[in-house]
Amino acid sequence: MSSPDKILVAMSGGVDSSVAALLLKEAGYNVEGAYMKNWINEDKVIGHCPWEEDIVDARNVANHLGIPFQVVNLMEDYKHKVVEYLLDGYARGLTPNPDIMCNREIKFGVFRQWAKDHGFKNVATGHYARRTEENGKPFILEGLDKEKDQTYFLALLNEAQIKDALFPIGYLQKSELREIARKAGLPTAEKKDSQGICFIGEVKMADFLTAYVPEKPGPIVRASDGKVLGKHKGLHYFTLGQRKGIRIPSNTDNENYVVVGKRAEDHALLVAFDHPDAPGLYQKEIRVHHFSWTLDPITFPCELEGRVRYRDPRVPCEFIPESDGTALIRFKTPQRALASGQVLALYRGEKLLGGCVYL
């Protein structure tokens, strides 16, 4: 009788990946756990980065389950593939998504390759998503818990990466997962979900940017008439649609300003009152590039659904490929705050088709 396939679980020290490891072990797989050491905040300039506590928690869960555990150092890869992408994007006025890049380049990139090099067939994670197959080809469906669905963060994976991926908790509601963890006595059963950036823990993006991106001050300009309302410390602190942190007062009707654009030539931050007709805030059409397809590429105009950001619902859109390698996305209804550099996830119903980046 052949031995069961070896599965490597990316254990973050949280309850989701802990239950993923538990379920795979209970299903009879040969399971091992590994913590990806991506970032340790060596200079201590951006607050608390709980990687040490997370390793302890992940190791305690592995010991509780009786599975081997190790720490895989991916810090250099992370610096080059994710951190530099993040900093370069913000420096150029874009709004990058490090969590999506982490999945493509690290979890299902270098970590997946490390696993294959060490005899593992699959990499499993605690994502709320479902992997299935159709005509022998693997693809991803939304997680059953729609409040926790994380397929948006998997939108830039390719077919080969999906083939090697397992998402054991995608069929669970979060409440069910917590109960499974409690009944199994997992040390992370009551641990709160992480709210930070994927690689720097409980650290706010603004604090990270303050530490690593030079400030370039400029004017805050009202888009409707060009009036200068104040000054800002750097465009990288702001993103389209942002209301908080602009630090200019509302008007006498208590209407708040919102970011509607950035002007590179004079580093101007463009703002307007947060109305449906605010210039540049809502868009019905947008051009996209840098496609990644989970199945076969779509090369013809068709009706799809798009998720413009995490936690937003899928919305109907028309996908129109162009000869220059870009595509026009035409939404049925105008969408708010589509910032250059962000990712659009494409779906047909619950099926994740792939993703692309706003120009």
Out of 198, 302, 317, 356, pick the active-site residue. 198
- If asked whether residues 224 and 315 sit together in one domain, one would say no
Show the domain range for 313: 282-358
d(CA 36, CA 70): 9
Residue 344 belongs to some domain of the structure:
yes
Q: How confident is the model at residue 257 (pLDDT cuts 50, 70, 90)?
A: very high
Rounded mean pLDDT of the chain? 92
Q: Do 298 and 227 reside in the same domain of the chain?
A: no
Does residue 198 carry a catalytic annotation? Answer: yes
Out of 47-51, 242-246, 352-356, pick the least confident. Answer: 47-51
Residue 123 CA: distances (Å) to CA of 109, 238, 276: 10, 36, 44
Identify whether 330 is part of a domain: yes
Count: domains in the chain:
3
Q: Which of 43-57, 125-139, 160-174, 324-338 has the lowest mean pLDDT?
A: 43-57
Mean pLDDT of 30-43: 83
Say yes or no: 193 and 334 in one domain.
no
Report helix angle 15-26 to 174-183, nearest 10.
70
Do 250 and 327 lie in one domain? The reply is no
pLDDT at position 206 is 76
How far apart are alpha carbons 10 and 20 in whole angstroms? Answer: 9
Which one is catalytic: 102, 302, 317, 356?
A: 102
Averaged pLDDT, 263-292 = 94
Estimate the crossing angle of helix 15-26 against helix 51-65, to 10 degrees. Answer: 20
205-217: average pLDDT:
84
Q: Give the model's confidence band at 195: pLDDT under 50 very low, under 70 low, under 90 confident, else very high.
A: low
pTM for the model? 0.92
Q: Tell whether 160 is covered by a domain.
A: no
Position 1 pLDDT exceeds 50: no
- The arithmetic mean of pLDDT across residues 260-269, rounded, is 93
- My answer on whether 192 and 329 are in the same domain is no
Q: Of 227, 255, 273, which residue constitutes the final position of a domain?
A: 273
CB 124 within 8 A of CB 20: yes
Backbone φ and ψ for 183, nearest 5 degrees, come out as: -65, -30
291 φ, ψ to 5°?
A: -80, 145
On whether both 79 and 113 belong to a single domain, the answer is yes
Decide if pLDDT at 204 tops 90. Answer: no
Kindly report the CATH number assigned to the domain that includes residue 39: 3.40.50.620
Both 183 and 90 in one domain: the answer is: yes
Q: Are residues 97 and 230 in the same domain?
A: no
**Which one of 224, 245, 273 terminates a domain?**
273
Q: What confidence score (pLDDT) does residue 4 get?
A: 78
**Is the separation of the CB atoms in 257 and 238 below 8 Å?**
no
Kindly state whether residues 268 and 303 are assigned to the same domain.
no
Q: What is the dihedral sign for C-alpha 214, 47, 62, 22?
A: negative
102 a catalytic residue: yes
Same domain, 184 and 312: no
- What average pLDDT score do residues 226-252 get? 90
CATH number for position 320: 2.40.30.10
Does 9 score more than 50 pLDDT? Answer: yes
Residue 131 lies in a domain: no
Domain co-membership, 110 together with 259: no
What is the average per-residue pLDDT within 129-137? 92
Alpha helices (runs of H) in 36-192, residue ranges in sequence order? 51-65, 75-78, 84-91, 98-101, 111-117, 159-163, 174-183
Q: Is residue 70 part of a domain?
A: yes
C-alpha atoms less than 13 angstroms from C-alpha of 163 in its C-beta half-sphere: 9
Q: Are residues 203 and 74 in the same domain?
A: yes
